[in-house]
Structure 1
Amino acid sequence: MTPAIVGSAGLTLLLALLLIRVPVAFAMFAVGFVGIWILNGLQAATGLLASETFSLASNSELIVVPLFILMGNVASVTGMSRKLYDAAFATIGQMRGGLALATVVGCGGFAALSGSSVASALTMGRTALAEMDRYAYSPRLSTGVVAAGGTLGILIPPSTGFVIYAILTQQSIGRLFMAGILPGILLLSAFILTIMILCTLRAEIGPKGPATSAAEKGRAFLGAIPILIVIVLTIGGIYSGFFSPTEAAGVGAAFVIIYGACERSLTLRSFWRAAQDSIVTTASVMLILIAAHLINPFVALSHLPAEISQMLVALDLGRIGTLLVILVIYMVLGCFLEGLAMLVLTLPIFLPVILDLGIDPIWFGVLVVLTLEMGLISPPVGINVFIVKSVAKDVPLIEIFRGVMPFWVAMFATLAILVAVPQISLWLPGMM
């Protein structure tokens, strides 16, 4: 068999394993190890497994992953994320669709702490769905808002998706974080506009919430100041060059822990629970990264990237046409695969093509991460929809999928804008 046939068979097997829900890391370990064994011998496969495991485990840049995860988990157990929602609720809750708007804003703020879409959807679902149900919001709107708003966790920095992309493509984590800020704000604005349009067309789906006094607004805003300080410290520190991403993660984690201890909202038991969750999540990410470093050499040995690159060049679609084809492939895969699996499976193939075309890998990273977000709410797999279903048990799954469709359209429109205007993604990284 030729290397290309072995590579195609390996990737087909990997895709099949992922579709039947074999854990991502184990599927990649098996295919990558056996593939390298076939193409380059058992000694090469075992040697690469040992060297890549040690190399990744000793990589100081990866400290950013557990620190940002810990920061988000501690912020969740101390109630900091709820305070941000309360501030948004007090400010705009009295508007038509105000609770939905407050939920989206709260999701955006929590995303800036947790970097996790699943955590954002779960936390805001527990917080906001009961409130919207109490004020007779349409279940379709309320669940759709939470599922879609939770996707902001993978785009607004610090984003685990950007960290994984940076490691797989050897790009700067700090520049990717900066590149996600304006697109994140643009997507948040698109979600807000979507809610306003829906509630204007059908006022009954998003009734006005209770009015709040100036004193209540002031108290709610004061409660949100700590989370705003964390965002300014971490993202502002990275942008100014005062902190590296790793240092910013350490400062952010230390701040939320000290704040929680001083406020007595963080007990030893809750801290232990947050630390355990952080360890489990970090271990999962590390396993995926180690497995990815087996898949990448296997794909390279198969010469598939070169052959696919030649095929795309032969189609003569041009720079933007080829980019659009790749993004469509990501959208289709997003209907069936989990985001990290998509990154690991596709980047070894598509990144050489992107670089050959002269497309900025930072810009491409933002576009890819946004398409991963779309997959989080795309049927039939959309994981955020199932997360919301676990909280809103009485809402039919089909209703939640219908609820996210207007927001999927908003994400598609945002993606089109980012493709048409690359500087939205590249301006802040260029100013660093």
Structure 2
Amino acid sequence: MGGIEYFVIGMTVMFALMLLHVPIGFAMMLVGFCGYATLVGFTPAASTLMTSVASNVSSFSLAVVPLFILMGSFASLAGLSDDLYRLAERMIGHRRGGLAQATILGCAVFGAICGSSLATAATFGRVALPEMEKRGYATSLASGTIAAGGTLGALIPPSIILVIYAVMTESFILDLFVAALIPALMAIICQFVAIYITLWRDPSLAPAGRRYSTAERIATAKSALPSIGFLVIILGGMYGGVFTVNEAAAAGAIGAMLLAIARGKLTVHTLRSTLIEAGRNTGMIYLIILGADMLGYFVTITGAPEAFVSFIQTAGYAPIVVITCFVLMYIVLGSIFDTIAAMLITLPFVLPVVESLGYSVIWWGIVTLAVIELGMITPPIGMNVFVLHAVAPHVPMSKIFRGVMPFILTDLVRIVLLVSFPVLALWLLQ
């Protein structure tokens, strides 16, 4: 058998293992190791695996992953996202749909901190959904807003997923953070537009809320000052060149812990549970990275990436046609897999094609994450929808899917713009 046959068999076995609920990291590592060992021998494969583990675990760039996870855990414990959600609700909640827009902003901040679309959807399903239903919001709009808002965190720095993409593609982390700023702002605006269009068609879906007094708004802003200051110092220091990304991650973890201590939220019990949660999340991410690394060795030695590039070039397809096919593929994968897994499974053979077409690796990272996150709310699967339904079982999935449709449409417009005009992601870098 040739390398391509081994590649096809390996991918088939890997997806079969995933369907059998084998953890994605284990499935990738098992297929990668066994396939590599079959082609080059057990001893070289074992040596490669040990080298991969040692290099990734000791990687200076990947050190930011556990630090950002720890920062997110402490920030969540300190109530940072609650502060900002409450502030947004006080400022714009009186408008028709204002509470939904405040939820979008809250999801954006929380998602950027925790790094997980699923966790964001679950958290705001418990916090924001009851509040919106109490205010008279239609269940479809409320649930659709939360499911869609959960997808925002992947592009908003400091995004763990962007860090992983940067490490796996040997890109500069800060370049990806800078490139993500305009697309992230576009994502928030598009979701605001989706809410506006929904209410323009049917104003009864969301009543106007209470208008808070100036004194109440000032009081809420004062209580949120520590959280705002924390974000300004960490993000401003990173973009302003005061911190490196690693230093910003370390400072953020310490700062979030001090904020939790100052608010009396950090006890021996909460410290223990926070560290355990951060350790579990870090272990899960590292397992996926190690599995993807080993899978990458196997895929490379089969010659599949080169064959794929050669086929595309020989066929003479226009670059935009190839990119469109990749976009459709990622929408499907995003509806089935977690964002990190969907990205890392495909990188070994997609990235060489993208580079051969003359596109920027930085730009492609932004497009990839935007498309995969869209898949998280796309029927018929949509992982965010399933998670939200699990948190709020009284909301039928049909209503959630109906609620996310306007967000899917505006997100498609955003992705078309990003693909058509790469400068939207690259302008700040230039």
Q: TM-score range by the shorter chain?
A: over 0.9
Alignment correspondent of 1:108: 108
Task: Output aligned runs, 1:2-401, within 5 Å.
Answer: 2-401=2-401
For 2:264 and 2:216, locate their aligned partners in 1 and report how far apart those are by CA, in whole Å. Answer: 23
Shift of 1:228: 2.3
CA contact (8 A) 1:82 1:127 kept: no
Shift of 1:316: 1.6
For 1:126 and 1:335, locate their aligned partners in 2 and report how far apart those are by CA, in whole Å. Answer: 22
The total of aligned residue pairs comes to 430
For 2:284 and 2:243, locate their aligned partners in 1 and report how far apart those are by CA, in whole Å. Answer: 27
For 1:112 and 1:38, locate their aligned partners in 2 and report how far apart those are by CA, in whole Å. Answer: 41
CA contact (8 A) 1:115 1:156 kept: no
Percent identical residues: 37
For 1:428 and 1:116, locate their aligned partners in 2 and report how far apart those are by CA, in whole Å. Answer: 26
For 1:376 and 1:20, locate their aligned partners in 2 and report how far apart those are by CA, in whole Å. Answer: 21
Shift of 1:136: 1.6
Shift of 1:223: 2.4
Shift of 1:318: 2.6
For 1:272 and 1:417, locate their aligned partners in 2 and report how far apart those are by CA, in whole Å. Answer: 45
Task: With the length of structure 1 as denominator, give the TM-score of the two structures.
Answer: 0.96
Q: Relative to 1, partners in 2 of residues 1:351 and 1:293: Cα closer, same or farther, differing over 3 Å?
A: same
For 2:177 and 2:333, locate their aligned partners in 1 and report how far apart those are by CA, in whole Å. Answer: 24
Shift of 1:224: 2.5
Task: With the length of structure 2 as denominator, give the TM-score of the two structures.
Answer: 0.97
Unaligned runs of 5+ in 1: none
CA contact (8 A) 2:335 2:372 kept: no
Amino acid at match of 2:16: A
Amino acid at match of 1:261: I
- With 386-395 and 300-309 compared, the bigger mean Cα shift is at 386-395
Shift of 1:189: 0.5
1:144-188 residue CA offsets vs partner (Å, 9 max, x unmatched):
101110111111111122122112211111111111111111100
For 2:320 and 2:49, locate their aligned partners in 1 and report how far apart those are by CA, in whole Å. Answer: 37
Shift of 1:111: 2.5
Shift of 1:325: 2.0
Secondary structure of residue in 2 paired with 1:60: coil
For 1:54 and 1:91, locate their aligned partners in 2 and report how far apart those are by CA, in whole Å. Answer: 49
- With 228-237 and 86-95 compared, the bigger mean Cα shift is at 228-237
Secondary structure of residue in 1 paired with 2:212: coil
Amino acid at match of 1:36: Y
CA contact (8 A) 1:19 1:336 kept: no
Unaligned runs of 5+ in 2: none
For 2:321 and 2:231, locate their aligned partners in 1 and report how far apart those are by CA, in whole Å. Answer: 37
CA contact (8 A) 1:143 1:388 kept: yes
CA contact (8 A) 1:144 1:400 kept: yes
1:225-251 residue CA offsets vs partner (Å, 9 max, x unmatched):
223223222322222222111111111
For 2:274 and 2:116, locate their aligned partners in 1 and report how far apart those are by CA, in whole Å. Answer: 14
CA contact (8 A) 1:115 1:157 kept: no
For 2:181 and 2:227, locate their aligned partners in 1 and report how far apart those are by CA, in whole Å. Answer: 17
Alignment correspondent of 2:409: 409
Q: Supply the RMSD in Å over aligned alpha carbons.
A: 1.4
For 2:249 and 2:396, locate their aligned partners in 1 and report how far apart those are by CA, in whole Å. Answer: 39
CA contact (8 A) 2:62 2:164 kept: no
For 1:98 and 1:349, locate their aligned partners in 2 and report how far apart those are by CA, in whole Å. Answer: 43
Shift of 1:39: 0.8
